Structure 1
Amino acid sequence: TWFMLLFCWLIFIYCNHSLRIKKLVYTVIFAGVFQALYASYLSLSPDIISPLFSYKHTDRAIGTFTYSNFLANYLALCLCLGIGVLISELKRSANDNTQSLAQTLRDWAGILLSSKIVLRVSLIIIIVALILTRSRMGNSAFFIALMVMSLLALFIYRQKPKAFKHLIISFFIIDLIIIGAIFDVEKVKQRISETSIHSETRDEVVRDSIPLILDKPLLGSGGGTFYTAFPAYQSEPFSGYYDNAHNDYIQFAVELGIPATLALGLLILYCLWLCIATMRQRKTALYQGVAFGCAVAIITMLLHSLVDYSLQAGANSMLFMAILCLAILTNKLPAPKTIKKRRNQAD
């Protein structure tokens, strides 16, 4: 806990203007691209053992993680921030609906010939690896969150980017359908269609965890103690040993108690509200775009946490904390012009 608090404090102290926020986001995207390339290379090369941790080949990409769903969650969060930055670099115009077809084509040609194409290719690489993880909720949560926030953005954006709708549509058409067909997204669909209550035991873990929550509702059993506290409440050995609840809401309630879990939940919802307020009220394109990406990332994590425990992985929890910090910073930091004026006055 202290480590996370100090990590957030460093982000608040050093990311004190738009340039540093942009550098932080691009660093996250670079890390996501590295993980995506590494995981895709190993997944598509069954005869190669991982040079970093000597992991053997599996049908689902894992990268440097021990669990494919951890990688899926990490890539989805990186992808959300990447989309946010890409949106922030689109041109804005109050007369978006009146522009001619020729102007629209010129705008798209400008995107293809600019540095934005490098960012767009990077996002495609991350999506390829996300599909190769074969994660059901990892893929579903991302695309559901993107669809929900995109529809919401159409109503709350004060000044929408020109190509906003086309960009979002391209993610579903190019990335999900075309890229997905190339890298066999049907396997993800098959895993989703074959999922049933009878074949899954995660719901039974949730069921058996509820008495544990009710016995210690205020303080819980202690942080990181689920694997020692749960066996005493497990009604039957339905799937062997569970060291995590496969549901972050249940696990936080078991370990930390209901009040602390509700407080953490309210903090996340507050950051989500700040993202929406930033998109509606701020005029700085970078802040609006990053806020959009943070909102998609928060909804993705809220959905994925229903069936998995990504917040128990250090890399994922640190990245999610950075996203919450960015949600606050993009709402509270002054506009870049205001910062320059203050520096000139100080000089």
Structure 2
Amino acid sequence: MSWLSLLSPARTSFLQSVNQLAETNIHYASLGYNPSSGILTVSFLIGLFLYAASLKKLLQSDRIFLRKILFTCIGVGILEAVYGLLQATNPHLGVLWLNDIRQFKGMARGTIIYKNQYAALLNMIWPLAVGAALLLFKAPPKKNKQKRNKRKSATSDVGTHRLRGFLFLFLASIIMLAVLFSQSRGGTLSMLLILSILLIGLPVSAKNKLLLSGFFILITLSYGSIIGFTSILDRFMLIQQGGETRFNIWLSSLPMLQDHQLVGTGIGSYILLSAIYLKQFPENIAFDRAHNDYLEFAIELGLPLSLFFLCALIIILFLQIKKIWPYTRKELSRLPSPAIVSLVSSAAIIGFLAHGIVDFGWRLPANLLYVTTLFILLQHGTRLSSHVVSSKPPPSRPGGRANKKRKMPGRLG
């Protein structure tokens, strides 16, 4: 208790009150209010680290494994999107065996209960479908074009690749449509942010960027009009009310952070303390999340550890994007496949991080699995880019050794 009084005075005062009221004699206690949740979280993070190391090794050893990852993620996204669109058209369709969720009826949720976490998941998948389409839009190798006897087959291959590319763009638009009909305002704004980043950073002409955005708009209006946009528009009309509610939750959560600045309250303890600190809300309403991942991280981890984590994450992401940024000024046909995937992965990661400001997508283990996958795909592309740059021969200088060798015979003569 003496150590705890220095690290977390607020928790010490709570324990002293327990000793007085319950007539107990607690001398030792954990730093966090929910230590079992912390142990489970650490175990999951260890498994996530092993998954990342295995994925990185497989991408380096198997060149086809990159496409396998893309197809797997896109397949999961399509299943979730179709399930969510069925929920939007059939309000009585629940989430798997859970059919008594009245507040989310008519909203696309797929196999995830909370619609904002569902939207965050799909926003990490549909950019990969765009990346798969770009891989197919790349020009075929030149050696196939130079052979006259294979011109017809080469032309048919190009047409087949373009047709498959448009198919992946169609799949991406279906997933985006599910994000829209989840009625997640944060998810929709994050989707627009990701699309804007892709339109700015993709190494394609301005004409193709307009065609890409027009394709997405056309599919969304065509298929979305069948379901109807009334519920989505009504949801966005309440964005001011929802913003005020979130802002009040943040203000009410700040005293929790002030009382536990150094070591935090512990992972999974926000729901235990929200009933004590959030006094401006009705007693029958319990908030298990702060609707801001970064504020909740600061409350549960403490300011030093949370700031270190966020700063390290931003610096790592910035350095990775800095390595692949030169690829945005090159032609699409000259880019290697991992570089294209890394470009779309970086946009998806930025959208996921931005969505965490108003929701809690980080708290879903499936989302952590997919964002880890995106980081490994991004790193795989940057590793290849640095390898390509380092493998280029250094340019010859006027006073270099090679020029001296060529001038030496003239001097001897």
TM superposition score normalised by structure 2: 0.68
| CA distance in structure 2 between the aligned counterparts of 1:79 and 1:187, rounded to whole angstroms | 23
Give the SS at the match of 1:201.
helix
| CA distance in structure 2 between the aligned counterparts of 1:277 and 1:199, rounded to whole angstroms | 37
CA contact 2:339–2:384 (8 Å) conserved in 1 = no
1:275 aligns with 2:297: no
Q: CA deviation at 1:296?
A: 1.6
Tell me what 1:77 maps to. Answer: 124
Tell me what 1:297 maps to. Answer: 348
1:3 aligns with 2:52: no
Q: Cα RMSD over matched residues?
A: 3.1
1:36 aligns with 2:86: no
Q: CA deviation at 1:216?
A: 2.1
Q: CA deviation at 1:9?
A: 1.8
1:224 aligns with 2:268: yes
1:209 aligns with 2:253: yes
| CA distance in structure 1 between the aligned counterparts of 2:207 and 2:293, rounded to whole angstroms | 37
1:194 aligns with 2:243: no
1:63 aligns with 2:110: yes
Tell me what 1:100 maps to. Answer: none
- 1:25-62, CA deviations, whole angstroms, 9 ceiling, x for partnerless residues? 22111100011112222332345555x32425711111
CA contact 2:92–2:106 (8 Å) conserved in 1 = no
Tell me what 2:294 maps to. Answer: 249
Higher relative contact order (CA 8 A, sep 6+): 1
Tell me what 2:11 maps to. Answer: none
**Further displaced range: 329-338 or 276-285:** 329-338
The structure 2 residue matched to 1:319, chosen from 370, 375, 378, is 370
CA contact 1:274–1:328 (8 Å) conserved in 2 = yes
Tell me what 1:127 maps to. Answer: 176
1:307 aligns with 2:355: no
Structure 2 unaligned spans of 5+: 1-44, 141-154, 390-413
| CA distance in structure 2 between the aligned counterparts of 1:186 and 1:148, rounded to whole angstroms | 28
Q: CA deviation at 1:250?
A: 0.6
CA contact 2:137–2:162 (8 Å) conserved in 1 = no
| CA distance in structure 2 between the aligned counterparts of 1:71 and 1:90, rounded to whole angstroms | 30
Give the SS at the match of 1:89.
helix
Give the SS at the match of 1:15.
helix
- 1:125-163, CA deviations, whole angstroms, 9 ceiling, x for partnerless residues? 212222221111111111122213422x16xx4xx4697
Q: For 1:318, give the aligned amino acid.
A: L
| CA distance in structure 1 between the aligned counterparts of 2:215 and 2:363, rounded to whole angstroms | 29
Tell me what 2:90 maps to. Answer: 45
**1:3-22 correspondence runs (5 A):** 3-16=47-60, 17-22=62-67
CA contact 2:253–2:277 (8 Å) conserved in 1 = yes
Judging changes above 3 Å, is the alpha-carbon distance between structure 1 residues 175 and 299 closer, same or farther for their aligned structure 2 residues? farther
Identity of aligned residues (%): 23
CA contact 1:18–1:286 (8 Å) conserved in 2 = no
Judging changes above 3 Å, is the alpha-carbon distance between structure 1 residues 139 and 203 closer, same or farther for their aligned structure 2 residues? same
CA contact 1:84–1:289 (8 Å) conserved in 2 = yes
**Further displaced range: 318-327 or 164-173:** 164-173
TM superposition score normalised by structure 1: 0.80
